[in-house]
Structure 1
Amino acid sequence: MRIMDISSHFSYIPCMENLIRISLKQARTVDAVAKARGLDAAAPVLNMTQPVISRTLAAAEALLGVTLFQRGWGGTEPTAWGDAILPRCSAAVHLIAKAEDDLEALGGVRPNLLAFLRWHHLDALAAVSLRGSASAASGQLGMTQPAVSRAISAVAHYTNQPLFRRRRNGLEATPVAGRLSLLRDELLRELASTDGFGLHAERGLFGRLAVGLLPFSGQDLVAKTLGILTGSNPELRLMAVPGSYAMLAQALLRGEIDCMMGILRAPPPFPGLREIFLYEESFTLVAHKNHPCHRYATSMIDLTNENWIVAPHGTPVRTYFENLFRTLGATPPAQTCEVLSFSDAEKVILHSNSIGMLSYSNRHLADLPNDLKKVDVDLPHGRVPIGLTVREIGDVGAILSRFEQILRSMLDG
């Protein structure tokens, strides 16, 4: 039986002062919070209170010198550093669970290791297994003999199985102790390093960028920019979050996203935000190239009875659309479909008998899909500013600065 041979193979590492070791409690907490996407949701899984979870994560972050979690769009989410350390923490949780399985098979009793096991338990166990006594182990560990004995007693309690047999020349490890010593070696490979797991290594930009996508405007530019960023900065965590202005503005103010891209309000309607102008687009009517409106329409009045694809209520596009008809003395026509994505709106227009009002740059208008065609109707005062909306207070940061730089380079190119 494989487990029975483990007790003769101990690889205790005496010099631990240069190693950074994430505690087993910290590893379990990181794994649970990431999976639950929140401290409150992780609390029943960990059987901890939210304040204890917060302190445990803070201790791990202080040990590693990085921020592991941040408030995000979908709840508490790992930062890029959290993403880097999470696989190790999850692997450690799996290793402990596997050891519980093996010990249950060995002794018929399933131990409770995951919630209670600590490094000093495993260190004491491995040292006593190697040295043959608690007194010899205490000198190697820099612990008192009673402290070593208490650690061994705690592990024996958690496993509910004997760990050592007394012999004339000292203590002999049982297969249970051998499996736990092997577990210690496995956990050290996952949770111990001399450099903090390289989280500070220079590998390009490192962190998160979450961009809120306002309906229609600039969405294709954001997609291209994120593609360039991730190609040259593989450690970046990138997110594109579509939504309404009010929803994204509140997320921006809470720090859940880093900026919004789309039509600027000039000025922003929420305090604490500022706008960065990038370029202009024009409100434009488009329809399938075979739509009859291309033959008869000379003004907006001619299109009153058509089906429309326009952005939702409260957006600049929708406001312009309704005001345009009111200026002409007509009631704004009912809208048959609302779509938040620019590419989806174009697809709906292509596969329907609807006319769409979208905003296009000159370059984007020149690259219309083959079966879409601009409706040749004048739209007065239809130019709109496009740009980024960011928090008014605080440093923009290297990642967002680089994002803006790439955006501008594509606009200039």
Structure 2
Amino acid sequence: MKWNLRHLRVFLAVARLSSVSRAAEECNLSQPAVTQAMAKLERMLGQPLFRHQSQGLFATPAGELLAARVRRALDRIDEAAAPISPRLSQTATRAQLEALIALRELENFTLAARQLGLAQPTVHRAVSALESEARRPLFERSAMGLRSSRAARALADAARLAFAELDQAVMELAELEGREAGEIVIGALPLSRSSILARAIIAFRRTRPRISIRIAEGRYDDLLRGLRMGDIDFLLGALRDPLPIGDVVQQALFEDEVILVVGPDHPMLDREDLTLGELAALPWVVARRATPTRQIFDQLFEGRDRPESVVETGSLILMRQLLRESDHIGIVSGLQVASEIDLGLLVPLPFQPPDGQRLIGLTSRVGWIPTAAQQAMIGELEKAVRQRSY
């Protein structure tokens, strides 16, 4: 939805003052301009935002809901824009901020224009207008391309979160009318793509069949960045200890066991007296660095001779294949390989890590307020965890 930020600021003024005339005076606009802006906003949203009474204009439930989200969105932009220029928050347009976001991400005018579907001069003018208001460059130009300043990065990141907040407003307004709109984006780490997430989606679909669900997959660092930028609503998977950064929060759902597994013909399966020294002499398949599973592997051999033959991978498919066709030892979530163990394709070793527990749960932004649909999805995930049979 193509929001007009100036219209949203006028909307907040009308909602706060309950008066078109006072809002017009505060925003330095004519009364007809304010009236037209509110009418345009109501047409775009397809809902009345104000009730006309003798005492003035009062927000409808839709208006109250929108005002709460708009206030949060604009506060983000205002806070980031204030150190750059006192007037920038009032003059910056949505198109200018979208150009800033694309250029901050891609650091190239041609690529930014292509991403936005615009001509390069259009993007250049949008960013130049912001720089003109700031009275300083927001990007450093060099032979290597563009590099955004700290202020530009802060404003671009704030604008992305503001636009995500406005997307949530659209979802909530649709819910208010009994409609379904918008998209839920879940950052899914490997374990979460098991039956837990599938069961939650199936249950969610029974009550909200038309809301789009997108599963973002990838490395934790990439998913965390998407979460912090507002591209992802929440992450589902192994929690980090310590917390990677202060602007996210974690909610534990259940405890998972990390186990050592091998193929069914592994020579160590008949050994009940296995030692770490013997295991260290064998080849291993381990998770990538800085993951909870890798931390358990590192703790297992802390102060001891470590395995010299190690394959590091984030691919569970590759790990499974190596374990089934060789004498490698894998360290992996028991939940992730539960089906292979049930089928006899993989077998837990007699020796297991003494401290192999890790927490699985949700990660979200500090201060994030989920919509009813997003909260319903989280509720289904929590229900799927309670009903799990493993």
Q: CA deviation at 1:48?
A: 4.5
Matched letter for residue 325 of structure 1 = F
Counterpart mapping for 1:304-343 below 5 A: 304-327=280-303, 329-340=304-315, 342=316
Contact 1:207/1:235 (8 A) holds in 2: no
Matched, 1:290 2:265: yes
Q: The residue matched to 2:308 in structure 1 has which SS?
A: coil
Give the % identical residues.
Answer: 21
Could you say if the C-alpha distance between residues 41 and 246 of structure 1 is closer, same or farther in structure 2, counting changes exceeding 3 Å? closer
Which of 360, 367, 370 is equivalent to 1:393? 367
Q: CA deviation at 1:230?
A: 4.0
Counterpart mapping for 1:265-276 below 5 A: 265-276=240-251
Q: CA deviation at 1:81?
A: 11
Matched, 1:245 2:188: no
Could you say if the C-alpha distance between residues 208 and 51 of structure 1 is closer, same or farther in structure 2, counting changes exceeding 3 Å? farther
Could you say if the C-alpha distance between residues 294 and 201 of structure 1 is closer, same or farther in structure 2, counting changes exceeding 3 Å? same
Q: CA deviation at 1:218?
A: 2.7
Following the alignment from structure 1 to structure 2, what is the Cα–Cα distance between the partners of residues 21 and 212?
Answer: 30
Could you say if the C-alpha distance between residues 21 and 283 of structure 1 is closer, same or farther in structure 2, counting changes exceeding 3 Å? closer
Contact 1:307/1:353 (8 A) holds in 2: yes
Counterpart mapping for 1:61-80 below 5 A: none
Q: CA deviation at 1:326?
A: 2.5
Q: Deviations over 1:309-349 (max 9, x none)?
A: 2110111211221221124x212433224134x45543543
Could you say if the C-alpha distance between residues 219 and 348 of structure 1 is closer, same or farther in structure 2, counting changes exceeding 3 Å? farther
Q: CA deviation at 1:227?
A: 3.9
Matched, 1:383 2:357: yes
Which of 354, 375, 379 is equivalent to 1:405? 379
Q: CA deviation at 1:284?
A: 0.3
Following the alignment from structure 2 to structure 1, what is the Cα–Cα distance between the partners of residues 370 and 277?
Answer: 46
Could you say if the C-alpha distance between residues 232 and 358 of structure 1 is closer, same or farther in structure 2, counting changes exceeding 3 Å? same
Following the alignment from structure 2 to structure 1, what is the Cα–Cα distance between the partners of residues 270 and 169?
Answer: 58
Following the alignment from structure 1 to structure 2, what is the Cα–Cα distance between the partners of residues 334 and 43?
Answer: 49
Q: The residue matched to 1:217 in structure 2 has which SS?
A: helix
Following the alignment from structure 1 to structure 2, what is the Cα–Cα distance between the partners of residues 359 and 338?
Answer: 14
Q: The residue matched to 1:270 in structure 2 has which SS?
A: coil
Contact 1:80/1:237 (8 A) holds in 2: no
Could you say if the C-alpha distance between residues 41 and 409 of structure 1 is closer, same or farther in structure 2, counting changes exceeding 3 Å? closer
Following the alignment from structure 1 to structure 2, what is the Cα–Cα distance between the partners of residues 39 and 81?
Answer: 27
| Match in the other structure for 2:229 | 254
Following the alignment from structure 1 to structure 2, what is the Cα–Cα distance between the partners of residues 320 and 300?
Answer: 14
Following the alignment from structure 1 to structure 2, what is the Cα–Cα distance between the partners of residues 362 and 350?
Answer: 15
Following the alignment from structure 2 to structure 1, what is the Cα–Cα distance between the partners of residues 176 and 318?
Answer: 41
Counterpart mapping for 1:85-96 below 5 A: none
**Gaps (5+ residues) in structure 1?**
1-16, 23-35, 54-69, 83-197
Counterpart mapping for 1:152-163 below 5 A: none
Contact 1:40/1:50 (8 A) holds in 2: no
Pairs aligned (count): 253
**Gaps (5+ residues) in structure 2?**
1-38, 46-109, 128-158
Contact 1:308/1:336 (8 A) holds in 2: yes
Q: CA deviation at 1:364?
A: 4.1
Contact 1:274/1:392 (8 A) holds in 2: yes
Following the alignment from structure 2 to structure 1, what is the Cα–Cα distance between the partners of residues 285 and 309?
Answer: 10
Contact 2:248/2:365 (8 A) holds in 1: yes
Matched letter for residue 41 of structure 1 = Q
The structure that has the greater radius of gyration is 1
Matched letter for residue 248 of structure 1 = L
Matched letter for residue 224 of structure 2 = A
**Mean alpha-carbon deviation: is it higher for 329-338 or for 269-278?**
329-338
Could you say if the C-alpha distance between residues 339 and 267 of structure 1 is closer, same or farther in structure 2, counting changes exceeding 3 Å? closer
Q: CA deviation at 1:52?
A: 7.4
Following the alignment from structure 1 to structure 2, what is the Cα–Cα distance between the partners of residues 295 and 213?
Answer: 37
Matched letter for residue 381 of structure 1 = D
Following the alignment from structure 1 to structure 2, what is the Cα–Cα distance between the partners of residues 282 and 199?
Answer: 39
Which of 334, 346, 371 is equivalent to 1:360? 334
CA RMSD of aligned residues (A): 4.5
Q: The residue matched to 1:395 in structure 2 has which SS?
A: coil
Counterpart mapping for 1:173-188 below 5 A: none
Q: CA deviation at 1:291?
A: 1.6
Matched letter for residue 394 of structure 1 = W
| Match in the other structure for 1:98 | none
Following the alignment from structure 1 to structure 2, what is the Cα–Cα distance between the partners of residues 207 and 42?
Answer: 20
Counterpart mapping for 1:175-254 below 5 A: 202-204=178-180, 206-214=181-189, 216-220=190-194, 221-230=196-205, 232-254=207-229
Following the alignment from structure 2 to structure 1, what is the Cα–Cα distance between the partners of residues 239 and 285?
Answer: 21
Contact 2:284/2:307 (8 A) holds in 1: no
Q: CA deviation at 1:371?
A: 1.2
